[in-house]
Chains A and B, each alone.
Chain A
Amino acid sequence: MSDEMDMEEGGVVKQFMFVNRKAPYGTIYALEGLEVVLISAAFEQDVSMAFIDDGVYELKKGQDTKELGQKNFSPTYRALEGYDIEKLYVERESMEARGLTEDDLLVDVVVMDRAELAAKMAEQDVLISF
């Protein structure tokens, strides 16, 4: 392991961005992504999440999975703050294409236009896509 990655040496903090592009429930990506983000909190890195394309649907208010027989994991997005994961970025164009507004989302986010989000992505050290 390189010195740069050695946490025990008080290591360098890197910028990690988790990019969420899938709707919840239809595939396992959204839930798996969320679990990896929660695990990442243990490594004390600079973590952010980006929600683009169908990923914006993960944050839709009012999810109710009673009849589906799957766990409703949407409340977990509101618990991220407790793990010091507070940078949630949502692409405005993806929301608008789906008829969603910031009021439709179940957690406080930073809405960015495509250019702003692109710039934010470009400055990351590590991007992990779900």
Chain B
Amino acid sequence: MLHIVNKSPYERNSLESCLRLATKGSAVLLIEDGVYGATKGGNFEGKVQAAMADVKVYVLGPDLSARGMADRVLDGVSVVDYGGFVDLVAEHSNCQSWL
């Protein structure tokens, strides 16, 4: 399963719900305002780091760059471009968008 989160974790609880319900071995892709969840120094750093024991976390590079956050991605999070986004969707049998 590929989980896609596009909301800031500071504004909505989509990321927390996603991490609560994502099963071991799933992938989580953070896009749009969701990318703030993959950045260092904020209140969600610990929660995301802990989740990475069970799920693989990806973040969309163009959305990070637009927000000036490309230089502070959490260790262990993989940055993907638009092609990588397509690959992730193609590689997984199903996906869930947490709006």
Contacts and interface: CB of A to CB of B under 8 A. Distances in A.
A23 B7 CA distance: 10
Nearest to B11: A54
A42 B41 CA distance: 39
Nearest to B65: A64
Interface in A35-87: 53-54, 57, 60-68, 70, 72, 74
A57 to B, nearest CB: 6
Interface string B70-99: 111000000001100000000000000000
Interface string B24-42: 0000000011001001111
Contacts of A66: 65
B67 interface: yes
Interface in A94-130: 97-100
Interface residues of A, number: 25
A98 B67 CA distance: 13
B16 interface: no
Nearest to A70: B66
B44 to A, nearest CB: 9
Interface residues of B, number: 27
Contacts of A54: 8, 10-11, 33, 36
A99 B41 contact: yes
Majority secondary structure of chain A interface residues (helix, strand, loop or mixed):
loop
A124 B62 CA distance: 38
Given A65-B65, A98-B10, A99-B42, A57 B36 contact: yes
A103 to B, nearest CB: 12
Contacts of A57: 36, 67
B33 A98 contact: no
Interface of B: 6-8, 10-11, 32-33, 36, 39-43, 45, 61-63, 65-72, 81-82
20 contacts: A22-B11, A23-B11, A24-B67, A26-B8, A26-B32, A27-B33, A54-B10, A61-B68, A63-B66, A65-B66, A67-B65, A67-B66, A68-B63, A68-B65, A68-B66, A97-B43, A98-B39, A98-B42, A99-B42, A100-B41
